[in-house]
Amino acid sequence: MSRVKNALHNDYQLLEHLHDELSLQAHLFKAEMKSTWETLEIKWSELKEHLGRAEVAATDAGRDIDVASKALADSLKAGYTEIRNAFKH
21-56 per-position pLDDT tens digit: 999 998 988 888 888 889 999 999 998 998 888 888
pLDDT for res 17:
94
pLDDT at 78 over 90: yes
pLDDT for res 4:
78
Provide the mean pLDDT of the chain: 89
What Å distances lie between residue 79 and 65, 84, 85, 89, CA to CA?
A: 21, 9, 10, 16
Angle at 21 between CA 16 and CA 1, to 5 degrees: 20
pLDDT at 1 over 70: no
